[in-house]
Amino acid sequence: MLPLEGVTVVALEQAVAVPFATRQLADLGARVIKIERPSGDFARAYDATVKGLSSHFVWLNRSKESVVLDLKTSADQRRLDALLGKADVFVQNLAPGAAERLGFGSERLIEEYPRLIVGDLSGYGGSGPYQQKKAYDLLVQCEAGVVSITGTEAEQAKAGIPVADIAGGMYVYSGILAALYERERTGRGSRFEVSLFDALGEWMGYPYYYGNYGGSPPARTGARHPAIAPYGPFTTGDGAQVFLAVQNEREWATLCEGVLGRGELVDDERFADNPRRVAHQDQLAEVIESAFASRTAEEVLARLDEAGIANAQLRDVAGFAAHPQLAARDRWRTVDSEAGPLRALRPPVTMPGREPRMGAIPRLGEHTEAVLAEVADD
C-alpha cells in the first residue's frame, strides 16, 4: 500500500506547475483525475520529441486519468461539482480569476464541501498590483531576480529548467500534504494559495540576504560560485574540465597539500580565507590549473576523490541518462503511453519495500466516460 492510496485529487490543471505537484501525489498512490478542456492541456503540444508526444507532458502526467469537460457549459460544470463531492483535494492553476468566473472559487467550494482541500496556484497571488498579470516561468524568473544573477558577467541567462514552475509545484505538493494531515486531526478541509512569484522568491533567499546586507548582489560568474572559492570548473592538461568545491579551511588545506602539492598556498595572504579567495578568483584559478596542467581529467578526479575533495564531471543530458549511479541503484522504470513504452526515472523519495505507482500517460479524454459514469446519478 502506498501512503496516499484512497485519496482522490481533482486537478483543473495545465502546463507545468500544478501537473508537477499532482504527479508527485499520483506517484504516492493518489487517484488524480485530470480535467482537460476539449482541446487538451496545451502542454500536450509543446513539442513532439518523445515518439510524437510532448516531453513536458510525458514528464508531468503519468498515472493520471484524463477527463475532458467544457466548463463553459452548465452541464459540465455540474459534472465537475459531482466529482468534487467525492474528492479529497481540488487544485487549479487557470488564468487569474478564471476559476471564480466558472463558479469554482475556493470560498464557495470550502463552504459547499467542508472536507475538501482546495489549492489555488497563480503567478503573483490573489491580491496586489500584479494579481491579474499573466505569468510564465521565464517572466517570473525575471521578476524574482533569478535572471539578474544567472549567466556570465557579459550576459544574463535564465535557468535551464523551469525553476519557477517547479518551485510552485513543490509548494502546492507540500501544501496538499500539510492540509491532508491537518484534516486527519480536525475533520475539516481547508484552502491554500501558492504563487510562482512567492515560491521562487523563497528560493532567492541567499541572494537577497547577500545583496541586501552585503551592499551588492552576487556577481554573475558563469559556472563558478559567486560567494565560495574554489567552487567551479577548472581545466586539466588534456583540455577537459573538472568541477570541484571547497567548503571550509580544512578542505582548502587538504586541496593545497594533498592534491595540488602546494602546501605553501595555505598561508598565502591572497587565499587565507574564503572572502579573500573569492576576491582573487582569477589568480586562484591560475594556480589550480597550473597544478592540473600535467594531469588528465581522469587523474585529477582520482586525486580529488582520494583526498576527499568534492568533485564532479560535466555531463550533458545524454551523459546523465547513461549515468552509472542511476543504473547501479535501479532508478529506471518503464511507463506506458499511446506512443508505446517509455523510460522514466523513479521518484526521488525511496520507500524500502514499496514501489511507486508509475502508470500510463493518458490520452486526451481517455477516462472521460468511465469517470463520469461514477457520478452519473449525482
* Three-state DSSP class for residue 146: coil
CB atoms within 10 A of CB 135: 21
CB atoms within 10 A of CB 8: 16
How far apart (Å, rounded) are the C-alpha atoms in residues 365 and 41? 11
Per-position DSSP letters for 237-278, written without gaps between them: TTS-EEEEE--SHHHHHHIIIIIIS-GGGGG-GGGSSHHHHH
> 351-363 burial string, b = 16+ CB within 10 Å, else e?
eeeeebbbebbbe
Which residues have a Cβ under 8 Å from the Cβ of 37 and sit 6 or more positions away?
Answer: 68, 69, 70, 71
54: its cell numbers: 510532448
* Three-state DSSP class for residue 57: helix
CB atoms within 10 A of CB 111: 9
Amino acid found at 149: I
367 is catalytic: no
Residues 225, 280, 323, 367: which is the catalytic one? 225
How far apart (Å, rounded) are the C-alpha atoms in residues 92 and 36? 11
Residues in the chain: 378
How far apart (Å, rounded) are the C-alpha atoms in residues 114 and 240? 60
CB atoms within 10 A of CB 36: 23
Residue 120 near residue 94 (C-beta atoms within 8 A) = no
How far apart (Å, rounded) are the C-alpha atoms in residues 281 and 270? 10
Residue 69 near residue 35 (C-beta atoms within 8 A) = yes
Residue 344 near residue 335 (C-beta atoms within 8 A) = yes
* Three-state DSSP class for residue 232: strand
Q: Where are the alpha helices (DSSP H) in 113-204?
A: 137-143, 163-186, 196-203
Annotated catalytic residues are: 225
